[in-house]
Structure 1
Amino acid sequence: MKNRSSRPWLATALLLASCAGTRPAPVATTAPATPAPTETYPKGVGLDMADLDRTVNPCDDFFQFSGGNWLRNNPVPSYASSWGPRNLLGNRTQALLRQILEDAAANRTAAPGSNLQKVGDFYAAAMDTAAIDRAGLAPLRPELERLAAVRDAAALHREIIRLQDLGVGVFFQVGVGVDEKMSSQYAVQMGQGGLTLPNREFYFKTDARSEKVKAAYRAYMQQVLELAGAPPALAQLDAATVERIETRLAKASRTPVELRDPQTNYNKMTVAAAQKRYPALDPKGLLAGLQMGKAQEIIVGQPAFLDEVNAVLKTENIPDLKAYLRWHLLRSTAAALPTPFADAAFRFSQAQTGAKQQAARWKRMQAATDSYLGEAFGQLYVDQAFPPAAKAKALEMVNNVKASMAEHIQTNTWMSAPTKAEALKKLAALRVKIGYPDVWKDYSSLKITRESYLKNLLAARQWENRREAAHLGQPIDRTEWGMTPPTINAYYDPTLNEMVFPAGYLQPPFFDPQADDAVNYGAIGGVMGHEMTHGFDDQGRQYDAQGNLRDWWTPADAAEFTKRAAVVGRQYDAFSPLDSVHVNGQLTMGENLADFAGLTVVYGALQKQLQQRYGNGPRPKFDGFTPEQRYFLSWAQLRRTNIRPEALRQQIATDPHSPGQYRTIGPLMNMPQFQAAFGCQEGDKMIRKPADRAVIW
């Protein structure tokens, strides 16, 4: 799941309930569930039996049982920080995308202004490292000179507006999005930002790992500032200035967990009131300069943070503020500057992720093309990679999962009738988008040439910001997508009450029309259930059927949900993948709830599908495993991940998703369905006592 807005994404919710259906014969609990050597079973599609570690009892460690051999045989490549099935699919997808891009770049006869011309020219300019190195800082010189010419507060304010317009997030984030409490209209939204380190915590931690990251941060700033022409002594001084200002901002920032509360991060005020509260920031002038001047109100995510921004602008001297702005301009464009700048940025990322070498340039520029021209590029991709039959099959699965979710709501034992009625209303209103947009973005006003990669990058950022600003005062555009078609991911948007599955995700191993139902339901079906139940997790449950941030729960039901969700939080707090490092059960709450609930709901959908297909007759085993066992194996095999310690520490500090091993075993430890499928007994490591289980749905 991925966030489309400046606020952290809404995560997940619901959970475990018994599902009807035929239970498979239990397997022995003293040894792994392996087919008897004298039996012969048809070979299945979608699961690789060689990946299993049959020396491990599935009831003791299902993560290792389901993929231990794969984990041993697939170390993290030198250019990556982690490695899993999504990376393997990414490699296959990248090969096709690379061919599309190289063909587009080689085509010098594409119609001027066409998507083919823009995609080809963008990629060609991005790949021309010789031209980029020759140009040096020349393409950025106009912006650097504008900044150098600043002499007073008014000129500084104009420069802040200019940088925000170019996608350089100095001091704060600002944009236009759906109003969370009035989802039929757009609103201006402002919130915390302006940091170089991943979040506020990194500025204040003093452990050895954090100090190493901060040392790399300081070295990165000094290297880039020197590359941009500053003498070493001045570069060191400016880097210290930037760190001091960012530390002020970090101290006023909310924590990642605090950012998960949509109610406290929604603070609407009139522009006049904001102008009075933040005079040095000058919200009225800011919005006018960003083409949002028609706004009468602003939704401020973190008012105290903007108090500090206002104080920074009042109390810091102009040269120091210019140093901060100059750094962020250089940092945000480093990938499009000469090679030494990109190398410096990679060295900084190494300290955070542990990657040993930089990814090949074509991979980085393919990702950039997808980021800046995603739907123009995506149209070329969809034409080659996504047949209509795949979309139809995916929609059928979504409908089955939706029907199972409705049953789980109806049969819930602790939720009152009024709350159930609202939940069913929300589920019925849920929109589903599969594959690619019905209406594509119109890039006709965006000019892309082969002259300069940096100029293309800044032009694309400015175009997107102005396209977004133009939404203000317009009806909600429900055709828009927050991910591009080749993306190997999915998301749920609470303000639109929709879930979106790009074409890039709907291919093996996540979705294979040739695989049996159990494998597809455990793979992409699990993702569908995950995204669907995000609408009912600790955050998503606060939005109603229309996407409005509104409390539709009775007080008793809300209290019961919170009590049950807290059990999940405590379970994940106890997981420790590294010495002295624990998963943050509050930060990962939404995603954990979505995994729990999604698995349970989709298990019910699979049982319905199997009943329709086989009735009360025998259900075939493939590779010696029952459909129920293959369902859980499919879920687990798609979450097997090798990850470097540096990246794992960073994930736990910043990512609302738990590490792969806990996404695998965390939900299953609470599921009677898993216990039945593999014949597990009380006392097995994968099985929690009934009194300790997390049960929501």
Structure 2
Amino acid sequence: MLALSIAVSAVGAAVAVPLAAQGTGAAVASTAKAAFGSWGVDLGARDTAVRPGDDFERYVNGHWIDTTPIEADRPNAGTFYDLRENVQGQIKGIITQAPAGTQYGALYASFMDEARLETLGLKPLMADLAVVRAIKDKTAFARHMGGTMGRFGNSLIGFDVMPDTVDPTINVLGVGQSGLGLPERDYYLNPRFKPQLDAYTAYVERTLKAIGYADPAAGAKTILAFETQIAKRSWDIASRRDLDKLNNPMSSAELAAYAPGLDWGALFAGAHIAPQKRMIVGEKTAVRDLAALYGETPLATLKLWQMFHIANQASPYLNKAMVDSQFEYTKTLSGVQQIRPRWKRGVDLVNGSLGEMVGQTYVAKYFTPQAKAKMEVLVANLKLAMGDRIRANSWMSAPTKAAALDKLSRMDVMVGYPDKWRSYVGLKIVAGDLYGNVQRAGAFNAAYYMADLGQKVDRKKWAMSPQTVNAYNGGLENKIVFPAAILQPPFFDLNADDAVNYGAIGAVIGHEISHGFDDQGRKIDATGAVRDWWTAEDGKRFEAEAKAFGAQYAAFEVLPGVFINPDLTMGENIADFAGVQVALDAYRRSLNGQAAPALDGVSGDQRFFLAYAQVWRAKRREDALRNQVATDPHSPSRYRILGPLRNVEAWYTAFGVQPADKMFIAPEKRVKIW
């Protein structure tokens, strides 16, 4: 979809307020001890046998990498993932202390009642399968596909609600490709993913057997052949982040004429969507070709495909045999050795279904006013630093600079939690009815989001709950959001040295701000409208630097024969690069002209870069890495350290990097974007 809610995966103009004015001091936040080391960085994690300029990731994190195992139920390990685990434990406490009669207490209890799920077996699933079996024609099937929004089942076409690309104050319908079971089209088409494709095929066969299909092996071949045809018609993931390609306004009538083969009226009716005078079609040719594929595909194939996906999506909420069968397949995507404890899966369900309800308690218990106030100071300094970078930019003309500064000044910043909490009144959670609870919660939340269609855009609404360890740039809404859960060590620590906070959460803030000016954000103006507000000459100069930057990432070999896709990761790579530079400027600004003292023999700039690399301390299983490279616009953590820093002049100075060092790039070849 074209929502462009660009998120960190790890992670008007105001007067700059130095952190010292908040009682932090210029060097150490307080007399209390930081969570990592004495001032915010775990120096024991380093491998000091490695030169910083040869491999900065290993220099900062090498000992940790060598000595830290990946838990059997996790695809990765690292500071970011440890924080997620910690937050999950905090949420478990909130949920389990709630009375069973509350909505999230009842939902969690229904998930944890394994004995009842074993007794029920597949009985809860049968009514939904019977509905599909009873479908008589493709018009009825199209209506059924539309009705799967928020419920178990799949559709060749997905819907979303998004700000209009011309008038971003009004919400319109977004329409795009859908229909696959594997994570991305390459899993069907690239021989590299044959093990995952084989595991998926076997899983489809097991599922069809479980629901009583007469010839599950033949049925699995039919479904895989159909999904392979879907994959061939689908856009690749890099093309799906290009705003110029995704911005295709149409009316309902125009879409039906452009993409025959599918009864669009029935599909929209199933989703309770009235005919639209204007909507945005994302993957235009894919939508057309998928509609044609629908017209060519026998109804029996469509029904079999739908029954599998209903069972697949319902499996986590059924008996142990279905849960284990699904895990046997999904573990090939991540390389994990055992399924996560049930309580963690239950917490995820409650978080996904009742996010802001849980978030209210989470914020009251774990997010302090002091943290919010200090974050607002950090953000103010980062915005000022970004403004300085724009004004000093050598390749940007005066008109483009003025428009960029206008966009920056109008960028909303939201910290911790939304100003207004959403209501869950009307959502019925029934004790002992896990399957029904999940269906009702999905439908309730889908209706909540679809209710915005045709209404004014409410920029105060959040796309993440406060307990999410992440952050995002709202793209068409020109806002940046930092949930409470990410505002903890190692990203943010009230007791850490200022250089550490700027190198960690400061770089995340800078990252999110800069998304407004990356290869796609540059196509969105200060109001959120999609238009090219750069001069042609500015665009050419930017694209030349971006191309050179992308070439550096294209050379990174993540696994043998597996390289980073620079087109897919370009926006996130540029944001990482800009985030580091803007955060360093803001840190230096916060010193008010004073020199930062050395702590344990480590200078202020060194502490900044150490903190940045510490945030991205991570290791992943090979299958998880393959999945990330194929599906994620963020580069793997190692290259979020190496890629930006080898282009940052201050890093060379801070660590005395020399031409003989492996990360060294000649000054004239270092990219200069921001």
CA deviations over 1:211-241 (Å, ceiling 9, x no partner): 111100101101111122224xx11122111
CA deviations over 1:36-87 (Å, ceiling 9, x no partner): xxxxxx9732111111111111121110010111111211111111111012
Residue 288 (structure 1) aligned with residue 265 (structure 2): no
Given that 1:163 and 1:329 are in contact with CA atoms closer than 8 Å, whether structure 2 keeps it comes out as no
Unaligned runs of 5+ in 2: 9-35
**1:202 aligns to what?**
187
2: CA distance, partners of 1:372 / 1:413? 48
**1:349 aligns to what?**
330
Q: Residue 384 of structure 1: CA displacement?
A: 0.7
Task: Pick from 429, 435, 446 the counterpart of residue 410 of structure 2.
Answer: 429
**SS, match of residue 100 in structure 1:** helix
**SS, match of residue 246 in structure 2:** coil
Structure 1 residues 191 and 553 mapped into 2: Cα distance closer, same or farther (>3 Å)? same
**1:670 aligns to what?**
647
CA deviations over 1:576-609 (Å, ceiling 9, x no partner): 1221111111111111100111101111000011
**SS, match of residue 174 in structure 2:** strand
Q: Relative to structure 2, which stretch is displaced further, 151-160 or 625-634?
A: 151-160
Given that 2:74 and 2:336 are in contact with CA atoms closer than 8 Å, whether structure 1 keeps it comes out as yes
2: CA distance, partners of 1:691 / 1:206? 40
Q: Residue 6 of structure 1: CA displacement?
A: 6.1
Given that 2:72 and 2:336 are in contact with CA atoms closer than 8 Å, whether structure 1 keeps it comes out as yes
Q: Residue 451 of structure 1: CA displacement?
A: 2.7
CA deviations over 1:614-633 (Å, ceiling 9, x no partner): x44x4222222011000000
Residue 650 (structure 1) aligned with residue 636 (structure 2): no
Task: Pick from 110, 115, 122 the counterpart of residue 130 of structure 1.
Answer: 115
Task: Pick from 24, 42, 48 the counterpart of residue 48 of structure 1.
Answer: 42
**2:22 aligns to what?**
none
**1:20 aligns to what?**
none
**SS, match of residue 243 in structure 2:** coil
Q: Relative to structure 2, which stretch is displaced further, 435-444 or 132-141?
A: 132-141
Q: Residues 43-442 of structure 1: matches in 2 within 5 Å?
A: 44-104=38-98, 107-108=99-100, 117-166=102-151, 168-207=153-192, 210-231=193-214, 234-293=215-274, 295-442=276-423
CA deviations over 1:445-479 (Å, ceiling 9, x no partner): 21112131111111111111111221122111112
Amino acid at match of 1:640: R
CA deviations over 1:93-123 (Å, ceiling 9, x no partner): 222111111111xx24x5xxxxxx1111111
1: CA distance, partners of 2:302 / 2:251? 28
**2:526 aligns to what?**
545
Identity between Structure 1 and Structure 2 (%)? 38
Given that 2:473 and 2:481 are in contact with CA atoms closer than 8 Å, whether structure 1 keeps it comes out as yes
**2:26 aligns to what?**
none
Q: Relative to structure 2, which stretch is displaced further, 416-425 or 570-579?
A: 570-579
1: CA distance, partners of 2:185 / 2:89? 37
1: CA distance, partners of 2:393 / 2:141? 58
Q: Residue 154 of structure 1: CA displacement?
A: 2.6
Q: Residues 613-624 of structure 1: matches in 2 within 5 Å?
A: 615-616=593-594, 618-624=595-601
**SS, match of residue 577 in structure 2:** helix
Superposition RMSD on alpha carbons, in Å?
Answer: 1.7
Q: Residue 313 of structure 1: CA displacement?
A: 2.4
Amino acid at match of 2:484: A
2: CA distance, partners of 1:262 / 1:619? 43
- Give aligned pairs, total: 647
Task: Pick from 656, 667, 674 the counterpart of residue 690 of structure 1.
Answer: 667
**2:434 aligns to what?**
453
Q: Residue 520 of structure 1: CA displacement?
A: 0.3
**SS, match of residue 587 in structure 1:** helix
Question: What TM-score do you get using the length of structure 2 for normalisation?
Answer: 0.93
Task: Pick from 673, 681, 697 the counterpart of residue 658 of structure 2.
Answer: 681
2: CA distance, partners of 1:402 / 1:555? 26
1: CA distance, partners of 2:287 / 2:570? 27
Q: Residue 7 of structure 1: CA displacement?
A: 5.7
**SS, match of residue 163 in structure 1:** coil
**1:527 aligns to what?**
508
Given that 2:3 and 2:476 are in contact with CA atoms closer than 8 Å, whether structure 1 keeps it comes out as no
Given that 1:56 and 1:64 are in contact with CA atoms closer than 8 Å, whether structure 2 keeps it comes out as yes
CA deviations over 1:5-35 (Å, ceiling 9, x no partner): 56665479xxxxxxxxxxxxxxxxxxxxxxx
Given that 1:10 and 1:540 are in contact with CA atoms closer than 8 Å, whether structure 2 keeps it comes out as no
2: CA distance, partners of 1:472 / 1:504? 30
Question: What TM-score do you get using the length of structure 1 for normalisation?
Answer: 0.90
2: CA distance, partners of 1:390 / 1:367? 25
Amino acid at match of 1:305: A
2: CA distance, partners of 1:317 / 1:580? 39
**SS, match of residue 164 in structure 1:** coil
2: CA distance, partners of 1:441 / 1:682? 56
1: CA distance, partners of 2:668 / 2:285? 42
Given that 2:177 and 2:287 are in contact with CA atoms closer than 8 Å, whether structure 1 keeps it comes out as yes
Q: Relative to structure 2, which stretch is displaced further, 643-652 or 308-317?
A: 308-317
Given that 1:90 and 1:488 are in contact with CA atoms closer than 8 Å, whether structure 2 keeps it comes out as yes
2: CA distance, partners of 1:687 / 1:475? 50
Given that 1:192 and 1:302 are in contact with CA atoms closer than 8 Å, whether structure 2 keeps it comes out as yes
CA deviations over 1:555-581 (Å, ceiling 9, x no partner): 000010000101110000001122111
**SS, match of residue 191 in structure 1:** strand
Structure 1 residues 376 and 340 mapped into 2: Cα distance closer, same or farther (>3 Å)? same
1: CA distance, partners of 2:132 / 2:243? 36
Q: Residue 680 of structure 1: CA displacement?
A: 1.7
**1:477 aligns to what?**
458
Residue 507 (structure 1) aligned with residue 488 (structure 2): yes
Q: Residue 519 of structure 1: CA displacement?
A: 0.4
Q: Residue 145 of structure 1: CA displacement?
A: 1.1
CA deviations over 1:168-195 (Å, ceiling 9, x no partner): 3421211222122321111111101110
